[in-house]
Structure 1
Amino acid sequence: MQRPIVTVPYSMMCALERDWWIDWRGQAEAERVGGGTQVVFNQFPRWMGEMAFSFTAEKSAYWRAIAWAAQGRLGIYRLFMADPLVFIRAKVLPADWIRLGKPFSNDQRFSTGYGFDPGPQVSAAAAAAPGAEEILVTVTDPGLVPKQGQIISADDWPMGVLWVAAEGGDVYRLGVTLQRATIAVGDPISLVATGLFEALDDLGSRLAYGKSRTSAPTMTFREVLNR
């Protein structure tokens, strides 16, 4: 079955509250008589997200269209895992990039008036296989050096940054967890992670509103592993 993929724009991830976490899906055996307390097997861990949104009337209508396109739990939401606890995109990008997108090298944009996704991104300085516990990145702007606790991604596979070490020049070594992408030299590493998620509840996108025509839906998302 082909599942529709709907990209939710970064501007729609304006949550009043958000919680991104890894569900390790640990399965423990019973306590052993030899003194060991438990043995835990983490089977197919995945990212989870719980969002309490706050939408104006215009954004409420837009979100309704997104939810319709996703067809409840059938579709896949491509989400920007905006995480202002660690990384605030607006502090490192020009305001017009955020509003209109990144232009071509000649400062022109598409005929629609919009440009490319502004990122920001750094590039992989070395290849890495799925399961790698470290990755090397090239960072030409000191303001874009990843931080401990940040969620980044490669090819829509989110990963968490455990530690950061300077390797000299503009190269940094990152300790990471849940790295599942096949990374080649030069591949983009997104500093605002993107991932593919499904809704846990068909009714989670309901939009109740009153005279103000504002809405505050709450949704829980689960990462999709079968792609």
Structure 2
Amino acid sequence: MERKVIEFDAAHFFATSFDWQIDWRGQAGQAGVTGSGQVVYGSQPRWIAQLDFATLRRDQIRSWRGIINQLRGRYNVLRVRLHDPLQPSWQEIGSPYRGRPVPHSDGSYFSDGSGYSQGMTAPVLETAPAGATSLRIDANYLGNFISAGHKFSVNDWLYEAVGIEGQGENAVLHFEMPLRRPVFAEEEINLNATCLVALEGDLTGALRVEPGDIGAPSLSLVEWVGPGRS
């Protein structure tokens, strides 16, 4: 099954609440007579999300409909740019450009006034296998500001930092959930995190238009971890 990936920027539709949680997909057995119990964890935990959005008006509602209908229910997937409200700011990581285009080394821009795009990323310095829960990164790229609670992605796989040891090229970032795929040296962690998700149900995202041609949508999402995901 080849699923179409549709770009979705949560900030474009003015997301008002942000709830991304790891579903460990544990299976609990019956409690014993002593009160003890067992939990068996699934081999493929995944992220689930509940996003609420501000009131949309006519043009925004049409745009919303266009995206939701492209999904064909749970068939296609969204590449969601999270815009975590707790991600570091450009000022905190010490960027002189604060998200603006970056010029050439001599300070000039291209003839049309554009520059190089700037990402909130840091290179991975050592290859890590699937199942690892730490990565060695060059934290200088982030002003050594990354810490527990920051979400990041690697190739659209989403993770959350739980701690960091060291600084600069000696920084070791600890995170959950374990790596779903190997990560190779020179790949990057991205604090402008992205995640590939499907709708929780075929009717998720339906928008009721109220008097005044307004509507306030919401989305329930589950991470795509199944067949066909690379």
TM range (shorter): 0.7 to 0.9
Q: Which residue type is aligned with residue 23 of structure 1?
A: D
Q: Secondary structure at the match of 2:205?
A: coil
Counterpart amino acid of 2:11? S
The gaps in structure 2 that reach 5 residues or longer are none
Match runs of 1:88-127 below 5 Å: 88-89=88-89, 94=97, 97=100, 102=101, 105=104, 107-108=109-110, 116=117, 118-127=118-127
Secondary structure of residue in 2 paired with 1:216: coil
Per-residue CA distance 1:30-56 (angstroms, 9 max, x = gap):
2235x4722211102100000111234
Distance 2:133 2:30 in 1: 29
- 1:184 is the counterpart of 2:150: no
Structure 1 gaps of 5+ residues are: none
Read off the aligned partner of 2:63 and give its amino acid letter. Answer: Y
Q: Tell me, yes or no, if structure 1 residue 196 matches structure 2 residue 226.
A: no
> For residues 111 and 45 of structure 2, what CA distance do their matches in structure 1 show?
40
Aligned to 2:161: 161
| Separation in structure 2 between the aligned mates of residue 88 and residue 172 of structure 1, nearest angstrom | 17
State the distance in 2 between where 1:15 and 1:5 align. 20
- Alignment-mate amino acid for residue 173 of structure 2: L
2:215 match: 215
Q: How far apart are the structure 2 equivalents of 1:56 and 1:137?
A: 43
User: Partner residue of 2:67?
Assistant: 66
Q: 1:110 to 1:11 in 2, by over 3 A?
A: farther
The residue that corresponds to 2:31 in the other structure is 31
Q: TM-score normalized by structure 1?
A: 0.82
Q: Residue type of the partner of 2:60?
A: K
**Separation in 2, partners of 1:90, 1:213:** 37
1:107 & 1:119 partners in 2: Cα distance?
Answer: 17
**Aligned Cα RMSD in Å?**
2.9
Does structure 1 conserve the Cα–Cα contact (< 8 Å) formed by 2:144 and 2:168?
no
How many residues matched? Answer: 218
Q: Which amino acid aligns with 1:74?
A: Y
Please tell me the residue identity of whatever aligns with 1:165. Answer: E
Answer yes or no: is the 8 Å Cα contact 1:125–1:171 preserved in 2.
no
Name the residue aligned to 1:75. Answer: 76
**Matched residue of 2:11: which SS?**
helix
Cα offset, 1:9, TM superposition: 2.7
CA shift in 2, pair 1:205/1:183, >3 Å: same
